[in-house]
Structure 1
Amino acid sequence: MYDYHTHSTYSDGDYLRSMLAAAEAAGLDGVGFADHCMVLPAEWAVRFRREYGFNFDATYDRRREAIDSLRGDFDLDVFDAAEVDYEPGHETEIRSFLADADFDYAIGSVHALDGANVHAVDHFAALPESRRRDLVEAYFEKLVSLVESELFEIAAHPDLIERNPALRGYATREQYERVADAFADSRTVPEVNAGRVRRDYGEFHPTPEFFEVLDSRGVDFTLGSDAHDAGSVGPLADELRACADERGLEPVRPER
């Protein structure tokens, strides 16, 4: 049982030692730290990094040293990874950063739409329904581009838009099929993500319909709790186990 997607204080998560202790107590065999990372040169991205303190592109070596010093204290495989924001047109910058950083694996994610974070309910709720539908289409276009770029071993929460009630329910089967075809032809694999299964959204990513389309294409999956605090690691590990059993999943390890 491996959880490849957790966060630490090197972005917006909990202390490394606390997360590792929780992972060991949960009976995990391994845990991966994939702290948020942005290397986009766009003005909005630079401003976001400064305002929120997401400077992992400058501190990943310090976290690596901390992980190395903690490995001997826990009976776990511990992975040094990153969750990197993806934007089409910036593949060169991302590829260069990942080559220099040499993580165990990289997770790619689409977080930005219409100049806002996908989680910004008020921003999207103020838009006409037709515009919201167009933005959902834009989200899946970005996701296809992310997968086809093959910059990443894992694609995070592949229907993140579902967490936002202003964007929820607009995804179509045709969009799912387009993304599934991209995954089927790529080394990048999606994750089953439990990040909001115990919170307001209350569901896994991908949705059952999206999962069925991906599964019909023979797409593999990894498992990721997306845990940001030590108290969530154990409960989310239980949720992931139950989901894998129910869906008959045989999760894979990310391959570089």
Structure 2
Amino acid sequence: MQTDVHSHTAFSDGSTLAAMIDAAETAGLDALGLTDHCIVTDDAFGRRETFDLVETYEQRRAVVDAAREDTSLTLYDAAEVSYVASEADAIREFLSTADFAYTIGSVHFADQYDYTAAAQYADADNETRRTAVERYYDAVVELVDAELFDVLGHLDLPERLPTLRGFSTTADYERVAAALADSRTVPEINAGRVNRSLNQVHPDPELFGCFHDHGVEFVLGTDSHTPDELTTRVPALEAAADRSAVAVVDVDSVLS
């Protein structure tokens, strides 16, 4: 089984990477993708200041290369990149320079909407919440159509927020499935809330049917930030894959 690991911690001394590798080996994986968050341009929500892979990817690459000497795992030097439509040219240029093994593209914010925190929508009425969610899926379709990334991350990120949960519609998923059917981009089944608020993978497995109807395949991602998360989420991903109505493929099949 292959999966990706999102880490907020730089691998400058190799200790964090070594712990993730140990966890992946314990979980029975044969490959591990290191997909630190990467934000190419400044944003209104301050995330660019928090995640510095755009400046440090070469140093991290050296650490990953060194770690290959001590493990039988296949290690992928990869990245999860925030997609912003107005910055598509800058993103494309950076990805061409950085030459990651593969990239995950995710919509974390669009226009005035931040989809990583619930507070913005706490006092919003239902119409405003639905407008925010609709804008999210507009941006996801734009991401897929841009053909910048190998993998679509967080297919339905608003569903992870209690203030936006339930405002996604079947039509939203149908739009995304139709876009993916005509794209090289492969979505991920993400386990980032298995042991947190949702207690399940996302997208909601009950909605896999529309992707199956469009012939869309998925890859698996733990969205782990710690070794403990990796070892607890891998079994949940395996179970979701076994139950799903969609085809699950290895990362190798979507490499650039």
TM-score range, shorter chain: over 0.9
Instruction: Choose which of 155, 161, 182 in structure 2 pairs with 1:158.
Output: 155
Name stretches of at least 5 consecutive residues in structure 2 with no aligned partner: none
Partner residue in 1 for 2:249: 251
Change (3 A) 1:26 1:220: same
Task: Report the CA distance shift for 1:6/1:41 in structure 2 as closer, same or farther (over 3 A).
Answer: closer
Deviations 1:154-209 (A, max 9, x none): 01020011010110001111111111000000000100101111111212111124
Letter in 1 for 2:53: F
The code of the aligned residue for 2:33 comes to G
The count of corresponding residues between Structure 1 and Structure 2 is 250
Query: What is the TM-score with the length of structure 2 in the denominator?
Result: 0.93
Maintained 8 Å contact 1:114/1:135? no
Offset at residue 6 of structure 1 (A): 3.0
Q: Is the 8 A contact 1:35 1:83 kept in 2?
A: yes
Match of 2:10 in 1: 10
Greater Cα shift, 117-126 or 195-204: 117-126
Which deviates more from structure 2 when the two are superposed, residues 181-190 or residues 169-178? 169-178
Aligned twin of 2:130: 133
Identity rate of aligned residues, in percent?
42
Specify the code of the residue in structure 1 equivalent to 2:228.
G
| CA contact 1:8–1:19 (8 Å) conserved in 2 | no
Q: Which residue pairs with 2:38 in the alignment? A: 37
81 and 102 in structure 1: CA distance in 2 versus 1, 3 angstrom threshold: same
Unaligned 5+ segments in structure 1 are none
The residue type paired with residue 248 of structure 2 is: E
Cα deviations by residue, 1:101-159 (Å, 9 ceiling, x for unpaired): 00000000011145353132121112121011001000000000000111000010200
Match of 1:89 among 76, 86, 89: 86
Aligned to 2:203: 206
CA RMSD of aligned residues (A): 1.7
1:233 paired residue among 230, 234, 238? 230
Residues 207-216 or 155-164, more deviating: 207-216
Equivalent residue runs for 1:1-150 within 5 Å: 1-7=1-7, 9-10=9-10, 15-42=16-43, 44=44, 47-50=46-49, 52=50, 54-113=51-110, 115-150=112-147
